[in-house]
A = this chain, B = another copy of it.
Amino acid sequence: MAEPLFDRIALIGIGLIGSSLARVVRREGIARHVAISTRSAATLERAEELGLGDSYSTDPAVAARDADLVVVSVPVGASGEVAEAIAPALKAGAIVTDVGSTKGSVIAQMRPKLPANVHFIPGHPLAGTEKSGPDAGFAELFENRWCVFTPLPGTDPDALEKLSEFWRRCGSNVDTMDPDHHDMVLAIVSHLPHIIAYNIVGTADDLQTVTKSEVIKYSASGFRDFTRLAASDPTMWRDVCLHNKDAILEMLARFSEDLASLQRAIRWGDGEKLFDLFTRTRAIRRSIIEAGQEVDVPDFGRQVLAHPEKSAPPKG
On A, residues with C-beta under 8 Å from B are 16, 101, 126-133, 135-138, 140-141, 143-146, 148, 184-186, 188-207, 209-210, 212, 214-232, 234-235, 237-239, 241-242, 245, 248-249, 251-252, 254-256, 258-260, 262-263, 265-267, 269, 271, 274-275, 277-282, 284-288, 291, 293-295, 297-307, 310, 313-316
Contacts and interface: CB of A to CB of B under 8 A. Distances in A.
A170 to B, nearest CB: 15
A263 B297 CA distance: 35
B307 A304 contact: no
Closest 5 CB pairs of A and B: A136-B316, A131-B316, A234-B278, A129-B298, A193-B222
A190 B223 contact: yes
A230 B285 contact: yes
Tallying the copies of this chain within the complex gives 2
19 contacts: A129-B303, A135-B316, A137-B316, A143-B306, A186-B218, A188-B204, A189-B218, A189-B221, A190-B222, A193-B223, A199-B258, A199-B259, A202-B277, A205-B280, A216-B287, A220-B294, A228-B300, A230-B278, A242-B271
A60 B220 CA distance: 30
Nearest to A218: B189
Given A202-B281, A231-B284, 7 more contacts: A126-B218, A185-B214, A189-B218, A216-B293, A217-B293, A249-B266, A256-B260
Contact of A237 (B238, B263, B278): B278
Nearest to A301: B305
A239 to B, nearest CB: 8
